[in-house]
Structure 1
Amino acid sequence: MTVADRRVLSVNTALVQPMTIDGKQVMTAIRKQPVSSLPSPERIGVKLLGLNQDEQADPTVHGGLSKAVYAYPHEHYPFWQTVRSQAKAQAWDEPLPHGMLGENLTLTGLLEGDAWIGDVLKFPDCTLAISEPRHPCYKFAAVMGFNQAVKMMAQSGYCGFYLAVRVPGTIAAGESYELIPGAREVNIAELFKSDMRKK
């Protein structure tokens, strides 16, 4: 894997807003939208508790120092486009927009099996550290448009990973990042699989 393969395709944010799920109104910020993309690579501020213009509705499961930024591998997008199409949640030829998985950073070049707790992602103007896997909830199923979405994430292991902010700064789509190894004791894929077995 070369540094050129490790890139930010999109930076995505959302403010907390109401969403109706199973007839009940809940507050959520899962519906992320690109604020920095390859055609328009705006610089977005990265603070200790997350990105500028981004919020979390439930700080007990999202956000905080260890879960300030959520990254998702773009390599999994074809899988989700296929299963959403099969579930009739979207047309076969409809592309999945970046941020659809609720992620802040749509990345290339780093899958869960190669993402180790404590590894550092060094960007040109900020530094982030891999902290833990994402655990899907009912809001994820609602935004994906089909009830089996949580089960599909659990079975596939395509969970993405949270990042803690080591060095605040800014980030923009199109930037490459350097992966600096940490202790390499457990990776995201192993930890997610272990967590799912406990549920």
Structure 2
Amino acid sequence: MKILATNIGERKEIDWKGKKVTTGIFKYPTNQPIYLNVEEVKGDSICDREHHGGIDQAVYAYSVKHYDYFKELYPDLKWEYGIFGENLTLDDIEETKVHVGDTYKVGEVILEVTKPRYPCMKLGVRFNDMKIVKQFWNTTKSGVYFKVLKTGEVKKGDLFELIQTDTTKPTIADIYLQKKKSKFS
């Protein structure tokens, strides 16, 4: 796996159908390395600390391969890296093959896979269409949250080197589907 883009966003307040919404989901690529800290990406705005950031959700990564699926559903959208609110856009991360606890070395940083990302209404705000939330739920293209075991900078082009895996642990897709089943049953 390789980083195609490092993305950060500022706190943004928007009017969504007459309601004021504060969000950090509008992330855009940066040309500078980004610093992955223990609970967040330095310089990236997190507006909902209950569901984003923190030790187990410090960094969010998403596969560019998943973009193609959603581009078919939203061909008129302006597609840019970071559109899913990810800090790291990767060339390929497959939720059905990544296990909770998998550990990667990325440059000087060490990251551990923790959980999938569950969609919320702010993804709908970003896409300007709430249908994306259900469409996102109906896939296993959730992206992956990481815990930062060793802090430091990462940049576009850095490679993910798998240093530890335990295939007896559930995959990110397994966890995602369990949550979906409990949420919608």
TM bucket normalised to smaller? over 0.9
User: In 1, Cα distance between the equivalents of 2:89 and 2:49?
Assistant: 22
Residues 14-56 of structure 1 show CA distances to partners (whole Å, capped at 9, x for unaligned) of: 12220222211111000001113xxxxx222121112121021
SS at match of 1:20: strand
1:193 to 174, 177, 180: 177
- Which residue identity is paired with 1:23? G
SS at match of 1:112: coil
RMSD (CA atoms): 1.2
1:146 CA drift (Å): 1.7
Gaps of 5+ in 1: 1-5, 37-41
TM (norm. structure 2) is 0.94
- Which residue identity is paired with 2:177? K
Between stretches 58-67 and 180-189, larger displacement belongs to: 180-189
1:84 to 59, 74, 81: 74
Is 1:24 the counterpart of 2:19? The answer is yes
User: In 2, Cα distance between the equivalents of 1:69 and 1:150?
Assistant: 21
Matched with 1:44 is: 34
User: In 2, Cα distance between the equivalents of 1:139 and 1:110?
Assistant: 23
2:108 to 119, 125, 130: 125
SS at match of 1:75: helix
Q: Which runs of 4+ in 1 moved over 6 A?
A: none
SS at match of 1:66: helix
Contact 1:120 1:182 in 2 (8 A): yes
Matched with 1:34 is: 29
TM (norm. structure 1) is 0.87
- Which residue identity is paired with 1:195? K
Is 1:183 the counterpart of 2:176? The answer is no
Residues 77-109 of structure 1 show CA distances to partners (whole Å, capped at 9, x for unaligned) of: 111111112xxxx26xx5x20000000000123
Gaps of 5+ in 2: none
1:180 CA drift (Å): 2.6
Taking only the aligned residue pairs, the percentage that are identical comes to 29
Matched with 1:3 is: none
User: In 2, Cα distance between the equivalents of 1:132 and 1:152?
Assistant: 19
